[in-house]
Amino acid sequence: MSTTIADAPHPLAPDIAGLEPLTTMRSRWPMIIGAMLTIAMVVGLGRELLGSGLAGLNRAVPTDPAFYLAFTLLYFSAPTGDWIIFRRLWGIPLIGGMIALVKKRIANEVVFGYSGEAYFYAWARSRARMVAAPFGAVKDVSILSAIAGNMITLVLFAFAVPLGYKLLSSAGYLNGVLGSIAIVMCTSLPFLIFSKRVFSLPRGTLWWVFMIHCLRLIVGSTFIAFAWHFALPTVPVGMWLFLTAARLLVSRLPLVPNKDLLFANFAILLIGQDQELSEMLALTAAMQLLFHVALIAMFGLYELAKRKKAA
């Protein structure tokens, strides 16, 4: 049964008015956690900027508008997939839900892993009316996201390793990749074996969430392939699709020390154009950071406008 997130007051009974400070603190802890993580996002983005995170924008930028359209669709594919999931689970609103989910993504990338889940849980908890305990759903969705990524990684591994075997061997990455694949398998198995104790959502809902995550990963990989194709149109889009699959595979290998270097070497080996490719990868990373900065600023202005309107 779907439920709806909305702001709800927490009235105090007269006979426990003396406990007001404690109750206030308990009712406001999600707001406090959310504010702390928002500040951490701003600090993390500032650190990235001071570390020349936007250096890639000084390079030659694509002139085809289709590149920027594909990149924008790529950026919002992950939070859109999450919004579809939580819209069905809780009935979250479009604007407020998307803002929270975009912040969730930014926190995961610029603060530390899974800090975004903590932020989204605090956001949901502070707005809970019928969803009194959102932890179970946030936990299930996060675990299923990791499992979906691991499953797709294993499928891609079966296709990519025979083609890249020589590169992995010559670069000294083969043992690391094989060990990483073993870790990927081992990290997923316990959740599958003890699924009845781990997950709280109904089995049918779990399968639906899993499929949405898989679709989100496929759609995101397709968008980045087309973005790269519009940036370097001399390379066929089919080759970019293969490279995005390799990129997804490399990004989930825990024992590979320099994932970006391995992917760049693999891409250069396949398509050449090492300078153009390096510039495009730097541009892609810089544009993602620019989107983070621009959206955090827009969200801040949006919240400020809401408060002024409410006042």
Give me the pLDDT at residue 177, please: 66
Average pLDDT, the chain: 78
pLDDT per position as a tens digit, 246-281: 788 777 766 666 666 777 777 777 777 677 777 788
Instruction: Supply 107's token pair.
Output: 């926190």
What DSSP string runs through 41-92?
HHHHHHHHHHTTTTGGGGSPPP--HHHHHHHHHHHHHHHHHHHHHHHHHH--
Residue 141 pLDDT level (bands cut at 50, 70, 90): very high
Q: What is the model's pTM?
A: 0.79
Quote the CA–CA distance of 244 and 222 in Å, as a whole number.
8
More confident residue, 155 or 96: 96
Instruction: Supply 220's token pair.
Output: 């995101």
Instruction: Supply 19's token pair.
Output: 């406990």
pLDDT per position as a tens digit, 14-52: 443 333 443 444 556 666 776 677 777 777 767 766 665
Helix (H, G, I), strand (E, B) or coil at 292: helix
Residue 60 pLDDT level (bands cut at 50, 70, 90): low
Residue 171 pLDDT level (bands cut at 50, 70, 90): low
pLDDT above 90: residue 74:
yes
Give me the pLDDT at residue 153, please: 78
Residue located via tokens 């398509």: 271
More confident residue, 260 or 107: 107
For residue 1, the 8-state DSSP code is: -
